Structure 1
Amino acid sequence: MSDNIALPQENIAEIEAERSKKVVEIDKKEKEKDKAEEDQQFVIDGTIIQCTSCMVPIGTLKVNFDTPTIQNKKTATVKEKSALSLKFSGNCLKSPYQASPCMAVMQLGEWQDVGTTLVQDQKPLIKKSTIMCNFGGSKITITKSGQINVPSVITGKEKEKEKEIQYVNGHFYNEDGAFEGKVDIKTNTGDVIDVYTCTGKGKSKDKDGKEIDVYNGIKLMKENDVNITHSDFCYIAYVVKMEAGGPDFKELKCIAYSSYNYSNTVTLKKGEKSKWKQVLAGTYSSVDDKQELTDTSNNQKSKLTRKAIFYVLNGEDDLTNGATFWDGTDFLAWGNSETNPYNNLGQNKFDEYKFIEIPKDIYDSYLAANRTSTKYPDRGNHNEKTHKGTHEHITKKVKKKILDKDKKPVLGKDGKPTFEEVEVPSKIKYAIPAADFENQDYWKSGNFYYDTGVNETYGISAMVSAGESIFWKKTKIRLTSETIIKK
């Protein structure tokens, strides 16, 4: 006799329904758990953001500050709260006639629901973080953290592929910028003038069992899809290195990217785009005695310079946001109110562009990186009655031959020329910042905005500061908000 008992059909249906309900509840709990875990994920550079008040609601979060990386991308923190970080390409639906770009009118509050740990003394952004745009009245949300799932197991085929040796010629540099060596063998493919990065150097055996140098994880460097030559690479490296103030990787990356960006805007007579080296070899760079950086130069600044150029050639994120040139301390010291050492009023940008704008966070960083004053050689060309500003002329005492009315040396009792002490121009000292940057008329919107009155199509907008430099992008319209902040 069987122990199985046949259940009525309606009972079976009830059991199946109950089971389905439990499965749905378990699935819901699993999804809630996954969502809760995802909401706590750190946000990284390039993540997708959303604003319902933008005509193109999907944007990108760009990390402009140097932070530790996750999956080779910089970690976002609460410092990213400007239009240069929250990048939307559309116009704001709440602006008059929907005519203003979001970047121009965006007024951001503070990030909410952020992480509790600190990343370089700043709280990190996580997937559930939001920030209010006070102009559009909408919350900007993060749709994805930007992190991706990475397989933890390498298949046998992938391991075999890693072990394959490519017999190529070229100059090889470690990813950190150190020169590792070169290969020039007739039976190899490629040319010795090619440039490669690698993850390190080791020993292996070729197909004949002979021990050879092996450069691991090699990658061919290209400029606009064309192999960059070793000569061009070394020339670019020298100029970029000399343009930078010190071994500051962020500044080196910004100089490298800005000059590269500019080279892509220059068209030659044949319709071809200029090469990077060609631009740096011309008047674009004021470096004296331009030459190639030697492979034996392996100090910190040289290695960081090469690493910065690899950063550009690999197409890594452009932290200058498309800047094409830069200024150093002189812009901050002269403004448009000081007679400069060349006996002209102010820094040349005030004569060349329609407007100049600097977001406050970039200005603060730029100002903090510079000293409270700076000195330049005094050419003795200032007219005390007409020169402008608060700069100070510093003299020095030198011995000068005493001349008679015929311009001949006056001799002493010993028959030798006589001398007198005279004061001559030595240095011009400029306080930092120049008066223009402390004039509140130019800060009414909360950011620095100076209408030069120059009849030009383009103004310039500061994209980032690095080292003692500030980096500019030409733009037809201002990118910061025009709204006056009421105090």
Structure 2
Amino acid sequence: MIRKNHTIVLEDTSPSEMARFRQIMLNIWRQQIEDDKNAIEMESFIKEQQEKTTEPKEKYTTTWLGEVVLNSDLHGFNYRNNPKQNIFNTSTGDFVDAIEDKFIDSSVSVNGHFYNKNGTFEGKVNISNNKGSVNDVYVCDGKGNAKDTFVNAIKLDISHENFCYIAGVINAEDSSTFESAAATTQATFNAVKFEKGDKLSMEEQGKLAKKLLSTGYSTATSKKLLKDEDNNSLYKNARKGLIHVLLGKKDYSEGAVLWDGIDFADKGITHNKATKEGGISISKELWVKFIENSKFKPDSKGTQRLLLHKPNSPAHDKDKTKVEALATIPFEEEEKTTIKTSYEPYIFDLFPSQNKNWNFQIELEDKKNIDYYETLGTNNNSGRVLHKATVVYGGHIFWKFYYEHPNNKGYLWKYYMNHKL
């Protein structure tokens, strides 16, 4: 049974307060029953998975989290279950208290390339007596006390070449923050599953992600393997984001399959995604954040402009200012009503405007709104709204497919994207 302490503060002992107290106790009682039920089901599931996945004679064990580790080196696998950091021990099938996730065995003796969870390259091992291949990739918590050992190493389902290539392209795309790198990587893996199905193993996803990034899906100008000796913050963010995805953790892209950078900040509703590629739906909040995150540099007169062209060049003097960039998606301002009193006229704002950055009169036929903006696709995608903005990280804005939009009823999504992977 899971026991929890509850503190209930009553203002007085009036009938209304006592009624509220009874309702609170009833809710607590119902939650207790639900928690106990879930705990029993979880315990049963864990024991079942442990019996299925742990075979002493096998070289590797697949934990109940789907991570592959060496049997010869792993004696227990701990998993943080909740904010109190209850840890799951696969040897006993029980949860135990601990401060952080850890392996019982503090080091491994296998070949491969080892990367810290923070993206730092820790070292390479290639010893004939060790198990595994030097092309294997592991994530760890650092180097062990003995030579060529690493703490809490977990084998990732990806080859070293694929790992370095994906990290290299992600770095070229945007690894200014860990979140941006993780979201860009996850969107790539989401796109792979969109094209090839969601039953792929992580190893298969990694192979296809490398292939996808080598196509026009990524418009990065530099596509090359990230060298292991490159350990600055940007390179570490790229690796850390990839490791995050390979471990099956949070989807920072929020289901996205595409992203855009500074070219979208420059073109707004005239961008291909907003027109012939199928239309967009975007909130004002995401749009403003995206423009704020975009890179600006001063022109020859000191005015900050989008960094589309090299600073100090004549072309950069014509790049958009922040105000001009914001106006490329012309959200409407709130309507204001003038009220005259016997004393003096003043402006009464019926709905306080959340948009103080621009106020342009632009003639457009597309749908406009205060809090969001939609454009309709053109050409073969006429009338569609295929893309919905999900999140902004770094210099990228991310898009998922807007399956539920009424304008997209009957659309054949399978034909949207095919890179012949």
TM tier relative to shorter chain: 0.5 to 0.7
- Pick from 333, 338, 357 the counterpart of residue 281 of structure 2: 357
Shift of 1:448: 1.9
Q: 2:106, 2:236 → 1: CA distance?
A: 28
Instruction: Check conservation: 1:377, 1:428, Cα contact below 8 A.
Output: no
Task: Find the aligned partners of 2:170 and 2:278 in 1 and give their Cα distance.
Answer: 28
Kept in 2, the 8 Å contact 1:459–1:477? The answer is no
Q: Is the 8 A contact 1:461 1:478 kept in 2?
A: no
How far 1:442 sits from its partner (Å)?
4.3
User: 1:221 and 2:156 equivalent?
Assistant: yes
Give the deviation of 1:261 after TM superposition. Answer: 1.4
Structure 1 position 152, deviation (Å)? 8.3
Contact 2:171 2:234 (C-alpha < 8 Å) held by counterparts: yes
- What is the distance in 2 between the residues matched to 1:307 and 1:36? 41
C-alpha deviations, 1:40-99, integer Å up to 9, x for none? xxxxxxxxxxxxxxxxxxxxxxxxxxxxxxxxxxxxxxxxxxxxxxxxxxxxxxxxxxxx
Give 2:267's aligned residue. Answer: 334
- What pairs with 1:270-281 in structure 2 (closer than 5 Å)? 275-281=208-214
Residue 68 of structure 1 is matched in structure 2 by none
The answer on 1:167 being equivalent to 2:57 is no
Q: CA deviation at 1:283?
A: 1.4
Letter in 1 for 2:235: S
Q: What residue is the counterpart of 2:55 in the other structure?
A: none
After superposition, the Cα gap between the structure-2 partners of 1:199 and 1:164, relative to the gap in structure 1 and judged at 3 Å, is closer
State the distance in 1 between where 2:90 and 2:402 align: 49
Identity across the alignment (%): 29
For the pair shown, which has the larger CA radius of gyration, 1 or 2?
1
Partner of 2:394: 467
Q: Which has the higher mean CA deviation after the structures are superposed, 354-363 or 234-243? A: 354-363
**1:38-437 mapped onto 2 (5 Å cutoff):** 147=82, 149-151=84-86, 162-163=104-105, 165-204=107-146, 212-222=147-157, 228-244=158-174, 247-267=176-196, 275-336=208-269, 346-370=270-294, 371=296, 373-374=305-306, 376-377=308-309, 428-430=318-320, 431-437=324-330
Alpha carbons of structure 1 residues 173 and 361: separation in structure 2 relative to 1, 3 Å: same
Q: Which structure is higher in helix share?
A: 2
Specify the code of the residue in structure 2 equivalent to 1:34.
N
What amino acid sits opposite 2:255 in the alignment? G
1:35: Cα distance to partner?
3.0
1:198 CA displacement: 0.7
Aligned partners of 1:310 and 1:286: how far apart in 2? 22
Q: What is the distance in 1 between the residues matched to 2:317 and 2:183?
A: 30
The Cα of 1:328 is off from its aligned counterpart by: 1.2
Q: Partners of 2:90 and 2:165 in 1: how far apart?
A: 42
Scaled by the length of structure 2, what TM-score is found? 0.57
Counterpart of 2:121, as a letter, is: F
AA partner of residue 276 (structure 2): E
Q: Distance in 1 between matches of 2:164 and 2:380?
A: 40
- Aligned residue type for 2:218: S
Give the whole-Å Cα distance in 2 for the aligned partners of 1:218 and 1:465. 32
Shift of 1:451: 2.5
Mapped to 2, the partners of 1:453 and 1:156 lie a distance apart of 59
Cα distance, 1:36 vs structure 2? 3.2
TM-score (norm 1): 0.50
**Structure 2 residue matching 1:220: 3-state secondary structure:** strand
Q: What is the CA distance between 1:147 and its match in structure 2?
A: 3.7
Q: Report the alpha carbon displacement of residue 367 of structure 1 after superposing the two structures with TM.
A: 2.7
Alpha-carbon offset, residue 436 of structure 1: 3.3
Which residues of structure 1 form unaligned runs of 5+? 1-30, 38-145, 205-211, 223-227, 337-345, 379-393, 397-424, 480-487
* Secondary structure at the counterpart of residue 216 of structure 1: coil
* Secondary structure at 1:319 match in 2: coil
Q: Is the 8 A contact 2:137 2:156 kept in 1?
A: yes
Contact 2:108 2:153 in 1 (8 A): no
Which whole-Å CA distance do the structure 2 matches of 1:155 and 1:220 have between them? 17
What corresponds to 2:409 in structure 1?
Answer: none
Q: Deviations over 1:163-207 (max 9, x none)?
A: 375431110111111111111122222111010011011223xxx
